[in-house]
Amino acid sequence: MLQHDVAIVGGWLAGCRAALEIKSLIPTVDVAVVAKTHPIQSHSVAAQGGIAASLKNVDPKDSWESHAFNTVKGSDYLADQDAVILLTKEAPDAIIDLEHLGVLFSRLKNGKIAQRAFGGHTHNRTCYVADKIGHAILHELVNNLHCNGVTIYDEWYIVQLIFEEGDAKGIIMYRIEDGKLEIV
């Protein structure tokens, strides 16, 4: 049986970022990330256009409220509005965190992160890395996982979660290459 303090199910942009956040809060925690794909085959690497945040580098009239309204409207009012408020309020800080992790955002002439128009947004607020935002972020997140000692199980397929008294305590997974089963 393999042992880790935390095993994150689903490895790429969301999972990697979660793993790094845990390591930054408690560096001694032993964190693993499990994904059925290799990073370059993930959904995350396909993202091209950019990532929205009301940094106001191009449009000083932008605001998190406007970003929130665009997001809720773009979801045909189906989005969880509490989650949208959190997302749009924290988005500028999340971009700066990514920059500090090493993501090479495209720049304005004054050196600030460039922002452009994007479908559904009423202000120029999309930060981008040419047309490779997903690839660029994933590249740095995976680098940072290696630097922080996070174990990566890529091309391992999770078949079941193990619950004890309602809490997820482990996973059953198999290696896609040869079908080897493991309990974490």
Ligand X SMILES: Cc1cc2nc3c(=O)[nH]c(=O)nc-3n(C[C@H](O)[C@H](O)[C@H](O)COP(=O)(O)OP(=O)(O)OC[C@H]3O[C@@H](n4cnc5c(N)ncnc54)[C@H](O)[C@@H]3O)c2cc1C
Residue nearer to ligand X on the CB measure, 72 or 109: 72
What is the identity of the amino acid at 73? K
Residue indicated by tokens 């202000």: 123
Is residue 74 a contact residue for ligand X (CB under 6 A)? no
Is residue 37 a contact residue for ligand X (CB under 6 A)? yes
Is residue 15 a contact residue for ligand X (CB under 6 A)? yes
Residue nearer to ligand X on the CB measure, 85 or 158: 158
The least distance separating ligand X from the CB of residue 93, rounded to whole angstroms, comes to 16
Is residue 92 a contact residue for ligand X (CB under 6 A)? no
Is residue 50 a contact residue for ligand X (CB under 6 A)? yes
Angle at 28 between CA 27 and CA 31, to 5 degrees: 85
Is residue 10 a contact residue for ligand X (CB under 6 A)? yes
Is residue 35 a contact residue for ligand X (CB under 6 A)? yes
Closest CA to 42 of 154, 145, 151: 154
Q: Is 5 exposed, middle or buried (0-12, 13-18, 19+ CB in 10 A)?
A: exposed
Distance CA 48, CA 128 (A): 8
Is residue 160 a contact residue for ligand X (CB under 6 A)? no
Residue nearer to ligand X on the CB measure, 47 or 109: 47
- Show contacts with ligand X in window 104-143 (CB under 6 A): 133-134
Strands, E assignment, 39-155? 51-52, 115-116, 126-127, 151-154
Is residue 144 a contact residue for ligand X (CB under 6 A)? no
Distance CA 17, CA 44 (A): 12
Residues binding ligand X (CB under 6 A): 10-15, 34-37, 42-44, 46-51, 133-134, 157-158
